[in-house]
Amino acid sequence: MGINFDEVEVGTELPAQSFRVTRATLVRYAGASGDFNPIHWNEKFALEVGLPDVIAHGMFTMAEAARVVTDWIGDPAAVVDYGVRFTRPVPVPNDEDGSVIEVSGKVAALLDDRRVRVDLLATYGGQKVLGMSRAVVQLG
């Protein structure tokens, strides 16, 4: 593993990342996940059920946020626990630019057995889209 427990402290910041999501991204994710709910691809349906537009899959948003942790640690298997609350959808317009999810993270607690808790902040348009986004990571 690339990060040693003795090299981190509470407040250590992980490199922030931006993740672009377009309608094409949603189609690929739907195919991979099997989640073909029309709120993720049918603009008319999404608007009819009160959404602002087609929205990104919650699990897609969650996975993109986790990438900040897995890229930092270098080993996805080092993430021993991860959870979020979905607080706001990420609308994805029907254009080439799509939407951008911004994710930052920092070590919030040093735990036993060389583990740390990383708290993540995921936003779209300056608004938080995931709440209580936390990962527990086993360090070397």
Domain of 130, CATH number, reads 3.10.129.10
Please report whether residue 26 resides in a domain.
Answer: no
Establish if 49 belongs to a structural domain. Answer: no
**List of residues 6+ apart from 105 with CB closer than 8 A:** 13, 14, 16, 68, 69, 72, 118, 119, 120, 121, 135
Q: Which domain holds residue 112?
A: 5-20+57-138
Q: How many domains, in total, are found in the chain?
A: 1
pLDDT tens sequence across 30-53: 999 999 999 999 999 999 999 999
Q: Which residues pair with 119 in a beta bridge?
A: 106, 134
In a domain? residue 106: yes
Which residue, chain included where needed, has tokens 């040693």? Answer: 4
Is residue 52 one of the residues assigned to a domain? no
Residues 104-113 pLDDT 10s: 999 999 999 9
Q: Does the residue 14 lie in any domain? A: yes
Supply the pTM of this predicted model. Answer: 0.94
Residue at 28 is within a domain: no
Evaluate the CA torsion angle 52, 82, 14, 30 in order and state its sign: negative
